Amino acid sequence: MRDFKGKIVFVSGGASGAGLGQAKVFGREGMKVAIGDVRQDALDNAVKELIAFGIPEKDILAIKVDLTDRADYTRCADKIEEVFGGPPHLLIQTAGVNSFGPIEASTFDDFDWVMGVCLNHVVNGLLIFVPRMIKAYAHKTEFWVATTSSMGAFMSGSGTGPYSAAKAAVNNLMYSYDEALRPYGSGATVLCPGNINSNIGNAEKFRPANLKNTGYRVNDKTMASLRAIHATGIDPVELGEILKEAIENERVICLPDHNPDGRAAQLRGLNETIENYTLTRAQRDEIAAKRRAEMMKAMEEARKSGKEPPMPMWATPEDAEPFGKARDDLDWIDPSKKLQKK
């Protein structure tokens, strides 16, 4: 898909972070922009940002919607057609949440919340929008489907179990949809970023009341840690531009690197991680120890040369505490996976 001007884009989770960055990028290309989010205040602020970015107010539609509610999501799709005259030519599903903690501490609510937003909302959107898009645009004009996934889709994470599982499923769905949509003159792209300068660190604040029972240690201080990490992430508009290039060139997987050699290196590293699962535990431990030694050597050389070593991802503000820990009252969890009291 290369011709965006005058067409319609819908971005789920478009009121902030990566979704808002995508709305800005494709709106700047002359698309009519519909954004969906569950937070009305965020939608109101996003509309102001889009207008300030240069997108005409008449080309912006903000819809408050619960993306996990199929009836509500269908209402959202109907609204887009009512206002803009048809379904989106470009569907980008970006809404996501995350919470961190040992997978063995996870509750049903942890899985239902994270997978409900990160996976089920994608399924809902595909089943609601794709038939409409095919009927309206197949062999008539360009249209495309995209979803924001994560680097976590390619790797396991004992502290991000529900999230990594959801994102792995999202990737596989998009591979399937790319193949399925080819006969209609379309395709699919899955964006797999790492760290994004977004508000996802605050996601726990918006967890539904009926899904609040978590096995993880979650409070304002753990969210402060996450905010500090995400503040160092890629700019959402830059990430949106990378996605645009991938869609224009019909890439199925979009990695957050402008450099083709960089993308290839990222995939090689990810594939190596998966390949290592075929090895024995002793072999995997040996590889992990070698990597740790190489990292420590690089940091020591950086110190000796007078250069600052890279800031570790676990560095946090003074008013924060480590995230990714289990609740203290869970009696089956290894003590090392709980907050260590000083």
As annotated, the active-site residues are 163
d(CA 34, CA 78): 12
Q: Is the dihedral of CA 68, 86, 18, 157 positive or negative?
A: positive
What contacts 255, CB < 8 A, 6 or more positions away? 192, 193, 262, 263, 266, 267
- End-to-end Cα separation, the chain, in angstroms: 56
Q: Strands 60-64, 90-93: parallel, antiparallel or unpaired by DSSP?
A: unpaired
Query: Closest by alpha carbon to 177, among 253, 263, 266?
Result: 253
Residue 104 burial class via C-beta count within 10 angstroms: exposed 0-12, middle 13-18, buried 19 and up = middle
Helix (H, G, I), strand (E, B) or coil at 323: coil
Apex 226 CA angle, 103 and 259, nearest 5: 95
What contacts 299, CB < 8 A, 6 or more positions away? 309, 310
Query: Which tokens belong to 259?
Result: 């450099």
